[in-house]
Amino acid sequence: MDDSQETDPEELLTSKLTDEAFPPLSATVRAQLAGRSHRGGRPVNDDHFLIVELGRHQRTIATNLPDGQVPVRFEEAGYGMIVADGLGKAGATASRLAITTLAHLVLRFGKWQLRIDPETADDVINRARRFYHQVDQTVTETASERSDLSGMGATLTAAYSAGDMLFLAHVGHSRAYLFRGGVLTQLTNDQTLRQRIADSGPGPFEAAANELDHVLTDVIGGHARRARIQLGQFELRGEDCVLLCTNGLSDVVDDKSAAAVLGRRAPLDERCGALVDLALARGTRDNVTAVLAKYDVPAYSSAARFR
């Protein structure tokens, strides 16, 4: 055998690692995040929000491998956002309890999946459903144990992204939007009587539906039956923005106006604050909360659907 035709082992290893297209998207997708909340036209702010980064890393402490064979440090991350709007005389307690319960469930039972394939995507969806049911039960039971908390409930809208995949879980009439290419698209459906009547088509009650914007058909806590949970899975593209907000914003800021703010060339936290300020300027009578994420995705695909 001609030794000159043998492949250098180090060259073979380097080539193999390159051919396997490492690192995964969760190590290359990054997000800017911002949030703001204001009591608006209410004496107390019943809204709460939470923004988190979930990550894991590997750091090389010592090795005698040649330079460049393994990374000195490798890290990947996912991002979570939650918005809750409290309802009832103890609304602030309800929204705070809903978010903290969900956060602790994720810490204790979440798998922190950062690399999404069809199997892990199903697991994320199923865990979100179970976590939401547990949050609903916790808020309901807490309200039943104390008379001063009786009837409290909350909307709850959560988003989790890993790589170029976005997952949504939603109950109530807070909203999630996607801003892409100058167009703002609502990703969640309002769970209100007005929306239910509108979904049923034209009829004798259609005109009256305008008065039913804030009558919820589903809420975390607040009633005996389980809330119906909307679950969604979407693919993200570069420069996408995801907005979570309470109805204190969406009631007075139309989609065109919100898109104009999101399309500004300004830091994300300024755009987030501008949305809240616009709602206040338009005389919102409710608490107003906005949470924004802007994604840097190196590669993307399309299509999305609710399950």
Q: Is residue 220 part of a domain?
A: yes
Name which residue leads in pLDDT, 207 or 231. 231
The reported pLDDT for the residue numbered 14 is: 55
CATH of the domain at 256: 3.60.40.10
Per the prediction, the chain carries an average pLDDT of 87
In a domain, 304, yes or no: no
Model pLDDT for residues 195-211, shown as the tens digit of each residue: 555 555 555 545 555 55
Q: Which of 100-104, 217-221, 246-250 has the lowest mean pLDDT?
A: 217-221
Domain count, the chain: 1
In this prediction, residues 251-279 reach a mean pLDDT of: 97
**Percent of the chain having pLDDT more than 70?**
82
> DSSP string covering the chain, please?
--GGGSPPHHHHHHHHHHHTTPSPGGGT-EEEEEEEEE-TTSSS--EEEEEEEEEEEEE-----SPTTSS-SEEEEEEEEEEEEEEESTTHHHHHHHHHHHHHHHHHHH-----S--HHHHHHHHHHHHHHHHHHHHHHHHHHHH-GGGTT-EEEEEEEEEETTEEEEEEESS-EEEEEETTEEEE-S---BHHHHHHHT-S-TTTGGGGGGTT-BS--EESSSSPPPPEEEEEE--TT-EEEEE-HHHHTTS-HHHHHHHHTSSS-HHHHHHHHHHHHHHTT--S-EEEEEEEEE-SS----EEE-
Does the pLDDT at position 306 exceed 80? no
What whole-number distance in Å separates Cα of residue 233 and Cα of residue 266?
28
Mean pLDDT in residue range 130-146? 95
- Judge whether 303 lies within some domain: no
pLDDT band at residue 19, thresholds of 50, 70 and 90?
very low
* 273 in a structural domain: yes
Residue 204 lies in a domain: yes
Task: Using pLDDT thresholds of 50, 70 and 90, give the confidence band for residue 27.
Answer: confident
Q: Which domain holds residue 237?
A: 30-57+69-298
pLDDT band at 20 (very low <50, low <70, confident <90, very high): very low
The answer to whether residue 221 scores a pLDDT higher than 70 is yes
Please state the rounded mean pLDDT for residues 46-75: 93
Confirm whether 166 is domain-assigned.
yes
Work out the average pLDDT over 147-166: 95
Residue 225 lies inside a defined structural domain of this protein: yes
- Classify residue 25: in a domain, yes or no: no
